[in-house]
């Protein structure tokens, strides 16, 4: 700790602030009034398009000097935007989207809020480049043209559904984890049967999510009927009408019994899995466009979801799992940026694991949420913060976020003054550079705190939106609907044959090996 005495007149000459004195040993200690005088000014209005450069990423204007700030594209990996509603994170999205399209990279946008401006910015930029056809909208529930199982094998498809339904064990939830594990194992077995159904069950259907949902329902129904039929058949007085009803099957009984690995104890697991999948059966997955069009071909896929719809949020996990899987699978060809807004509403463990490696596969993420308190999963929160080297924080009221910025911003030397008669003592101390006073003195929107791992000191920056001629017309998109064809089955197979025998209502049962076809004479 450093002490030095100074004459009062000299100290007054060195005073640079009306709120606190300063010295050669650092600025005076922070106060809310001093920070307001220095930083409480609205962001400058400017056109970001005037500042875009090749090979560099534009971040904004320095709040104090108004000079543009850039980072080399190679130094940008993943980015995290933390901002409350209406603070301006969409401004940053728009700038990064235009930079991405100008660089001929693919772009995937996940929008759970039906934003009016970001799709308009993207659409107008593609119009300037004469690439109107490269703008693809996947609109949840009306027309979601995603090819759900494209180029997947049964293992990859099962992994995506596992992520979507969260069928992963949690150490602190032993009871629930048992059922999750049971459903995950059942899912893998069913997916194998589905992918090999033409050979095993003489069932031919396109490999997609909707047909798989139906397949699980059919298989669970046949298994239940098989078990109940056996029980009823072995009763002393079997109910022939009930047996006839239970004998009706979707699949050929002989083929079914050859490939069936499930038992009576598994019925509840299959029914639970079928019920979980049933909430996706009414979504229009038209299967017209591929995620690879953005990952490899440089197009833009704009995914409009619904943050108030739990089914929609679950399916976003499926989409993210598919992006990660395809990026790894086609890593030599992928070159894409993924913008994911409100990530706290659809967090996945696969994302936290992939952030460490997926940039090497040609995919970079720009993630956004409102504050640190929204992410309950500490492991995922830590993974996101560790792997997002570019962080932009707008003014927050969440104490966890404020304290994190305070610690992350580093410390600087400040001067603390003491009066003793006609003498003053100056003591050198350290204070957080991004202390709470400084954070609270910022305007509520368009002014953010930039922290990047390649820059030793944080910056306070101004951001300004890219202007568009008109808002995006979501009403037109929402009115588009297409009917989806699903491979429907009827119970055309029977597990027993009836022969009428005059005056005799007894039943003669003849089991056929591996076929389980019951023959009754009535």
Average pLDDT, the chain: 86
β-strand partners of 521: 499
Q: Which pLDDT value is given to residue 218?
A: 96
HSE value, Cβ hemisphere, 13 Å, CA-based, for 97: 29
Q: What is the pLDDT of residues 186-228, one digit of tens each?
A: 999 999 999 999 999 999 999 999 999 999 999 999 999 999 9
Cα–Cα separations (whole angstroms), residue 213 to 145, 208, 270? 17, 9, 11
Q: Are 162 and 190 in contact (CB under 8 A)?
A: no
Q: Are 148 and 493 in contact (CB under 8 A)?
A: no
CA distance 391 to 79: 6
- Domain with residues 31-147+290-395+442-478, CATH architecture: 3-Layer(aba) Sandwich (3.40)
Q: Are 390 and 401 in contact (CB under 8 A)?
A: no
CA 475 to chain centre: 25
Kindly calculate the radius of gyration of the chain based on its CA atoms and give it in whole angstroms: 31
pLDDT at 313 exceeding the cut of 60:
yes
pLDDT at 258 exceeding the cut of 70:
yes
Q: What residue ranges do the domains of the chain occupy?
A: 31-147+290-395+442-478, 154-281
DSSP 452-498: ETTSSS-EEEE--PPP-SS---HHHHHT-------------EESEEE
* Minimum mean pLDDT range among 98-102, 439-443, 483-487: 483-487
Q: What is the pLDDT of residues 137-178, one digit of tens each?
A: 999 988 899 999 999 999 999 999 999 999 987 766 666 788
132 Cβ contact list (under 8 Å, min separation 6): 123, 126
Q: What is the pLDDT of residues 385-424, one digit of tens each?
A: 999 999 999 999 889 899 999 988 888 877 777 777 777 7
Residue 197 CB burial class (10 angstroms; 0-12, 13-18, ≥19): buried
Q: Which pLDDT value is given to residue 486?
A: 74
What percentage of the chain has pLDDT greater than the value 70?
88
β-strand partners of 425: 5, 418
Select from 267, 132, 287, 137 the least CA-distant residue to 209.
287
Q: What is the pLDDT of residues 9-57, one digit of tens each?
A: 444 444 445 455 555 556 666 777 777 777 778 899 999 999 999 989 9
Q: Which pLDDT value is given to residue 175?
A: 66
Q: Which pLDDT value is given to residue 362?
A: 95
Cα–Cα separations (whole angstroms), residue 309 to 340, 345, 372? 17, 10, 22
pTM: 0.86
């Amino acid at each position: 700790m450093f002490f030095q005495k100074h004459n009062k007149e000299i100290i007054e000459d060195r005073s640079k602030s009306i709120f606190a004195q300063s010295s050669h040993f650092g600025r005076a200690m922070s106060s809310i009034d001093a920070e307001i005088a220095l930083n409480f000014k609205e962001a400058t209005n400017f056109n970001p398009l005037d500042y875009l450069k090749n090979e560099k990423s534009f971040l904004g204007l320095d709040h104090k000097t108004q000079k543009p700030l850039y980072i080399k594209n190679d130094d940008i990996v993943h980015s995290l935007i933390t901002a409350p509603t209406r603070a301006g994170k969409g401004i940053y999205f728009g700038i990064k989207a235009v930079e991405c399209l100008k660089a001929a990279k693919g772009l995937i946008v996940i929008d759970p809020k039906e934003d009016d401006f970001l799709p308009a910015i993207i659409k107008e930029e593609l119009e300037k480049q004469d690439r109107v056809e490269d703008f693809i909208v996947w609109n949840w529930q009306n027309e979601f043209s995603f090819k759900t199982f494209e180029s997947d094998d049964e293992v990859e498809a099962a992994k995506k559904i596992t992520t979507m339904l969260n069928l992963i064990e949690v150490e602190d939830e032993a009871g629930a984890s048992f059922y999750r594990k049971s459903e995950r194992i059942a899912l893998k077995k069913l997916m194998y049967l589905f992918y090999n159904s033409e050979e095993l069950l003489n069932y031919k259907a396109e490999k997609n999510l909707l047909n798989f949902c139906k397949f699980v329902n059919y298989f669970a129904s046949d298994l239940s009927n098989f078990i109940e039929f056996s029980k009823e058949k072995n009763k002393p007085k079997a109910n022939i009408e009930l047996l006839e009803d239970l004998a009706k099957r979707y699949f050929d009984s002989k083929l079914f019994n050859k490939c069936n690995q499930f038992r009576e104890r598994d019925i509840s697991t299959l029914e639970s899995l079928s019920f979980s999948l049933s909430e996706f059966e009414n979504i229009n997955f038209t299967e017209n466009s591929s995620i690879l069009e953005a990952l490899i071909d440089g197009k833009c896929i704009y995914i409009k979801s619904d943050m108030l719809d739990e089914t929609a949020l679950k399916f976003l996990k499926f989409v993210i799992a598919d992006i990660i899987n395809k990026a790894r699978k086609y890593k030599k060809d992928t070159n894409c940026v993924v913008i994911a807004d409100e990530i706290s509403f659809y967090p996945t463990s696969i994302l936290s694991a992939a952030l460490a490696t997926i940039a090497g596969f040609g995919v970079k993420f720009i993630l956004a949420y409102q504050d640190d308190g929204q992410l309950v999963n500490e492991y995922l929160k830590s993974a996101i913060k560790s792997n997002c080297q570019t962080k932009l924080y707008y003014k927050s009221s969440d104490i966890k976020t404020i304290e994190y910025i305070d610690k992350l911003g580093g410390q600087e030397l400040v001067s603390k003054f003491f009066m003793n008669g006609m003498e003053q003592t100056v003591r050198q101390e350290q204070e957080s550079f991004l202390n709470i006073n400084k954070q609270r003195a910022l305007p509520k929107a368009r002014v953010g705190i930039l922290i990047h791992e390649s820059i030793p000191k944080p910056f306070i920056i101004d951001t300004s939106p890219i202007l568009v001629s008109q808002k995006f017309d979501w009403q037109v998109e929402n009115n588009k609907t297409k009917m989806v064809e699903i491979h429907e089955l009827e119970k055309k197979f029977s597990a027993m044959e009836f022969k009428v025998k005059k005056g005799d209502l007894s039943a003669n049962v003849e089991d056929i090996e591996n076929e389980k076809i019951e023959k009754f004479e009535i």
